[in-house]
Amino acid sequence: MDAYRVLIIDDDFRVGGLHRDIVAGRPGFAALEPVRGVREARAAVRDQQPDLLLCDVYLPDGDGIGFVAESDVDAIVISAATDAPTVRRALRAGALDYLVKPFDARLLGDRLDAYRRFRNVLGDDRRVDQETLERALQVLRGRETGAGSTAQPATERLILERLGEGEASANDIAERIGVSRATAQRHLAALAARGAVEVSLRYGTTGRPEHRYRGR
């Protein structure tokens, strides 16, 4: 699909701009112009139909968590509030995650990447079984299954199914099945060592080779 559209809701225009720049610099995302309150956020959701909200709790004209609950849009709550009741309330309202200000920009980038993989697993055109749901939640929470875990056969089965559609790179496979590139590479290396997949090199325009994988 096209890039996921992200709306930032924060009453501090400097913070909103900083988060907008992080979103805009992340592959697969488009940053909408930040808004500073609930009223503006309602209008932006209605008119621009974002896929994801990054919403502060304390806004000048209302409660950010209440807005998350009413919006019916995926959301990550971002706030300086550190009391457990506020965090629990955000999660009850449907927030996918909660980030405590201030935080390293890389943390938000990681959360955006996890959200993109989460949406890849729970694509709008897919039926969801329990295994798919478990994998989506693991991706969202950054608990992707490693190569040595008991879930390895399920992950390898998904990789082999993807390779059944044709040759692919590790990045292609990671995007399709909803894991990180490093996780995909670990499983592909294990499959290649057992002879379950074939590996070849393809040279791009930069001259840098890319590993390509095919099912046997």
pLDDT of residue 103: 87
pLDDT at 207 over 80: no
What one-character DSSP code corresponds to residue 180? -
With bands split at pLDDT 50, 70 and 90, how would you rate the model's confidence at 211? confident
- Element holding 54 (H helix, E strand): strand 52-55
Terminal alpha carbon distance of the chain = 30
Q: Give the mean model confidence (pLDDT) for residues 88-104.
A: 94
Q: Give the mean model confidence (pLDDT) for residues 20-33.
A: 95
Q: Side-chain half-sphere of 199: how many Cα atoms within 13 Å?
A: 15
pLDDT of residue 144: 55
pLDDT at 146 over 50: no
Look at 14-18, 54-58, 92-96, 184-188 and tell me which has the smallest mean pLDDT: 184-188
Average pLDDT, the chain: 87
Q: Give the mean model confidence (pLDDT) for residues 195-201.
A: 84
State the Cα–Cα distance between residues 111 and 132, nearest whole angstrom: 20
State the Cα–Cα distance between residues 173 and 199, nearest whole angstrom: 14
Which residues in 161-198 are b (16+ Cβ under 10 Å) and which e?
A: ebbeeeebbbebbbbbbbbbeebbbbbbebbeeeebbe
CATH superfamily of 4-121: Response regulator (3.40.50.2300)
Q: What is the pLDDT of residues 32-48, one digit of tens each?
A: 999 999 999 999 999 99
Residue 144: helix, strand or coil by DSSP?
coil
State the Cα–Cα distance between residues 33 and 24, nearest whole angstrom: 11
pTM of the model: 0.69
With bands split at pLDDT 50, 70 and 90, how would you rate the model's confidence at 148? very low
User: What does each C-alpha distance from 8 to 30, 42, 48, 136, 184 come to in angstroms?
Assistant: 11, 12, 12, 24, 31
With bands split at pLDDT 50, 70 and 90, how would you rate the model's confidence at 150? very low
- The three-point CA angle 48-35-64 to 5° equals 100
State the Cα–Cα distance between residues 179 and 139, nearest whole angstrom: 7
- With a pLDDT cut of 70, the percent of the chain lying above it is 92
- Beta-carbon contacts of 161 under 8 Å, excluding residues fewer than 6 positions away, are none
Domain range 144-215, its CATH number among 1.10.10.10, 1.10.760.10, 3.40.50.970, 3.30.565.10:
1.10.10.10
Q: Please give the backbone phi and psi of residue 41, each rounded to the nearest 5 degrees, phi first.
A: -65, -40
User: What does each C-alpha distance from 66 to 11, 38, 85, 93 come to in angstroms?
Assistant: 16, 9, 14, 7
Q: Where are the alpha helices (DSSP H) in 30-151?
A: 38-48, 64-71, 84-92, 105-121, 130-140
> Per-domain residue ranges for the chain?
4-121, 144-215
Contact 186/147 with Cβ under 8 angstroms?
Answer: yes
With bands split at pLDDT 50, 70 and 90, how would you rate the model's confidence at 196? confident
- Higher-confidence position of 93 and 198: 93
With bands split at pLDDT 50, 70 and 90, how would you rate the model's confidence at 57? very high
